[in-house]
Amino acid sequence: MKEELQSEIDVIERRKKMILEFMEEKAYVPMKAKELASVFQVPKQMRREFTKILDELLEEGRISISSRGKYGLTEAFAISGTLETNPRGFGFVKIEGREEDVFISADDMKDALQGDKVLIVLKNREQDGKKAEGKIIRVLKRGYTDVIGTFHKNKTFGFVVPDNPKITRDIFVPLEKSLCARNGEKVSVHITSYGDARKKPEGKIREILGHVNDPGTDILSIAKSYEIPMRFSADVEKELESIPDDISEESLDGRLDIRDWQTVTIDGEDAKDLDDAITLTKEGDNYCLGVHIADVTHYVKEGSALDIEALKRGTSVYLIDRVIPMLPQKLSNGICSLNAGTDRLALSCIMEIDSKGTILNHKIVETVLRVDRRMSYTAVKKILVDHDKELMEEYHEFVPMFQRMEELSGILRKKRFSRGAIDFDFPESKIVLNEKGRPVEIKPYERNVATKLIEDFMLAANETVAEDYYWQELPFLYRVHENPDEEKMAKFAAFINNFGYTLHLTNREIHPKELAKLLEKIDNTPNEPLISRLMLRSMKQAKYSTESLGHFGLSARYYCHFTSPIRRYPDLQIHRIIKENLHGCLDESKVKHFDHILPEVAKQSSQTERRAEEAEREVIKLKKVQYMRKHIGELFDGVISGITAYGMYVELDNTVEGLVHVSSMEGDYYRFLEDEYCLVGEMTGKTYKLGERVKIMVDGADPLMKTIDFVLYDRYDEEEEEFLNYGSRHEINCK
């Protein structure tokens, strides 16, 4: 029996060798299985066995297969992509131009880590619903050279457990390379060896960030993990020495002097970088709106150390209790900040607007201004909405202007919505930290009349400047939001049918007005938060571009970012172009120069914006987990915000979201109906749908994974207008 088995194995190995030798010939052209079988004269009755041999060679990684089903040596069809790992050890490789990711098992990961650019070969034929599987054959570029994590010390060595759960392997650190780090300290470790399947990566500690329990260490660790620069270089610090604290007389030459115009800034109470100021007068039925933006480019010259550093950072990053600025404080909080009572240089967009919101005329001009009052959103809201007597008396000179602002804001908003602009009014999370950096309160941060009017005025200026420079046909940087993917929008349209809503798609395309109408229909309904978020996820991300591709969400043909040069590099860049144009310096060589550099500026600015957004989200997630850890065992009301095969997400009234896992839902087995986005009990027929109100108990909160677990306590009966108890286990747990 053994001899027969060995003989069969030998036959298979000989056939494999023949196939490999054939493919190694220089004249070999990749072939399909049928063609190879024909070359080797394989009888029809043995074709299945021949295909099995090809599959074994694929599994062994000795040959690979193309997307068209043709076979060749491993390197012939190797594909490059980016590895996205799962904490459980396996991963997926994202390949540009390919819809489906390629699955990589834990055994086929080689020494690759999260974020690595890798070369893979396919191990199977993608058919009959079976997903493609691959094997990593080489790492092309490392995603991480430095990792943030917690240091653990043994007698003879140390190791770092990465904060990012997708980096699934601990990093070994010899004690002589540990910088004397202690147990529980957050560190930055530089990877010196990536190891292999049997050997862990090795590294050396570059920096000790602080103990895991020290105030602020957690936020600092997240910022470091996203490689957000924390300090300014020596070259930048040296350049700052030549920046004045006050504006000079020479800098006023050629500027429009508007220091006698009634001018205010309106920002959050904690804001320090005030880069926009407003003036507003009215003559007859027409308004004269001035949006005045800090003239940062007067101090940050192209190619300077400050400019290079600003481009590298791309944007300021706001992490709850701190700001990591794009520009040093001497600029962002000093000479460039439009502080009340001080003379400041500005670049102004002054617009004449009629009673219907049409911008009749405008001019973009360099100015010098002096802000009369620094206002907060809260104070302006109290004046306009609450009619606070004390504040109205304190700012009695400005109340008429605030009233004009509210009037014009309503006109601009109505006009924008009439053309189909989409207003996503999501309540952002307002997280209050104590002196130790621990969250003590989480609540929705709602927009009010003051935040909306500033938003309306900034949008008007951004659109006006973008349209002006588009028609001048000059190099420029636009903020674009492309039309949604047709397939995603079709799926979204099918989904909202479950709630009784429809979307009108023309040739599978949609006009933003259709989505705006839908938002109007769901306004103040239980399904509003859910449908709004799913609508947003169905759209593409906004980005920067040298082409004016329009802004779908705003239903605007022309749009740019002009109003925040202190905290966004694209604004700084277009200010530079505008000023060159105003001074008559945009000759052919300058145009060529901007044409050359702008694509890279657009790319870098889009990437740093994503990085900042992800870091900000991670910090918010962590603080929400820390907050909910103090409330384990407590009951909260919430809305089902997402449903999957493994459970349902519930969003609480304070914006915290957690998962109710199906395994915790006692008394029945729940099945996920994907078409209807609901969970249905197999025995009881009980259903849980998106948008339904439920009461949950907090069951757990994991700071490392940044996840929150809920268990279902009871559900809300809309007819009875009361909560119905869910189950005895949860009732006992809550007592």
Q: What is the CATH number of the domain that holds 669?
A: 2.40.50.140
Specify the range with the lowest mean pLDDT, choosing from 27-36, 68-77, 320-329, 456-465.
Answer: 68-77
What pLDDT, on a 0 to 100 scale, did the predictor assign at position 100? 83
Q: Establish if 548 belongs to a structural domain.
A: no
How far is the C-alpha of 73 from the C-alpha of 632, rounded, in Å? 56
Q: Establish if 550 belongs to a structural domain.
A: no
| Total domains, the chain | 5
Tell me the CB-side half-sphere exposure of residue 723, using CA atoms within 13 A.
17
Amino acid code (one letter) for 127: Q
Do both 609 and 635 map to the same domain?
no
Do both 17 and 86 map to the same domain?
yes
Do both 521 and 641 map to the same domain?
no
Question: 3-state SS of the chain: helix, strand, coil percent to 5?
Answer: 35, 30, 35
pLDDT band for 128, please (50, 70, 90 cuts).
low
**Of 197 and 604, which is predicted with more confidence?**
604
Q: Which two tokens stand for residue 13?
A: 């190995």
What pLDDT, on a 0 to 100 scale, did the predictor assign at position 728? 35
Asked if residues 293 and 347 have their Cβ atoms less than 8 Å apart, the reply is yes
- The residue segments making up the domain with residue 530 are 486-539
pLDDT over 70 at 483, yes or no = yes
SS3 147: strand
Q: Which residues of 97-124 are buried (b: 16+ CB within 10 A; e: fewer)?
A: eeeebbbbeeebbbbbbbbbebbbbbbe
Do both 162 and 305 map to the same domain?
no
What pLDDT, on a 0 to 100 scale, did the predictor assign at position 727? 42
CA angle 133, 136, 137 (to 5 degrees): 130
**Of 75 and 247, which is predicted with more confidence?**
247
Overall pTM surpassing 0.95 (yes/no):
no
Q: Establish if 326 belongs to a structural domain.
A: yes
Do both 299 and 317 map to the same domain?
yes
Do both 636 and 708 map to the same domain?
yes
Radius of gyration of the chain (CA): 30
Which residue among 95, 117, 140 closes a domain? 140
**Of 206 and 678, which is predicted with more confidence?**
206
User: Strand pairing partners for 84?
Assistant: 92
In this prediction, residues 603-611 reach a mean pLDDT of 97
In this prediction, residues 523-535 reach a mean pLDDT of 78
Runs of H (alpha helix) within 388-473: 389-394, 399-418, 449-471
Specify the range with the lowest mean pLDDT, choosing from 315-324, 460-469, 505-514, 614-623.
Answer: 505-514
Give me the phi and psi of 21, to 5 degrees please.
-65, -35
Which residue among 140, 159, 178 closes a domain? 140
Under 8 Å CB-to-CB from 444, ≥6 apart: which residues?
A: 427, 428, 429, 430, 653, 654, 655
User: Strand pairing partners for 189?
Assistant: 147, 205
Do both 504 and 433 map to the same domain?
no
pLDDT band for 530, please (50, 70, 90 cuts).
confident
Residue 424: which of 526, 519, 539 has the closest Cα?
519
For residue 48, the tally of other CB atoms under 10 A from its CB is 9
SS3 646: coil
Q: Establish if 660 belongs to a structural domain.
A: yes
Share of the chain above pLDDT 90, in %: 61
Do both 238 and 121 map to the same domain?
no
SS3 232: coil
pLDDT over 60 at 104, yes or no = yes
Specify the range with the lowest mean pLDDT, choosing from 3-17, 89-103, 163-177, 542-556.
Answer: 3-17
What pLDDT, on a 0 to 100 scale, did the predictor assign at position 491? 83
pLDDT over 70 at 725, yes or no = no
pLDDT over 50 at 716, yes or no = no
Q: Which two tokens stand for residue 38?
A: 């024909």
Specify the range with the lowest mean pLDDT, choosing from 55-59, 85-89, 360-364, 424-428.
Answer: 424-428
Q: Establish if 412 belongs to a structural domain.
A: yes
Cα separation of the two ends of the chain: 67
What pLDDT, on a 0 to 100 scale, did the predictor assign at position 722? 53
What pLDDT, on a 0 to 100 scale, did the predictor assign at position 729? 35
SS3 632: coil
Which residue among 573, 589, 619 closes a domain? 619
pLDDT over 80 at 734, yes or no = no
CA angle 108, 111, 113 (to 5 degrees): 95
Q: What is the pLDDT of residues 393-402, one digit of tens each?
A: 999 999 999 9
What pLDDT, on a 0 to 100 scale, did the predictor assign at position 505? 81
Do both 163 and 74 map to the same domain?
no
Do both 67 and 128 map to the same domain?
yes
- The DSSP code for 376 is E
Do both 39 and 155 map to the same domain?
no
**Of 254 and 424, which is predicted with more confidence?**
254
Query: What value does the mean pLDDT of the chain take?
Result: 90
Do both 474 and 615 map to the same domain?
yes
Q: What is the pLDDT of residues 660-706, one digit of tens each?
A: 999 888 778 888 887 677 899 888 888 888 778 899 999 999 998 89
pLDDT over 60 at 733, yes or no = no
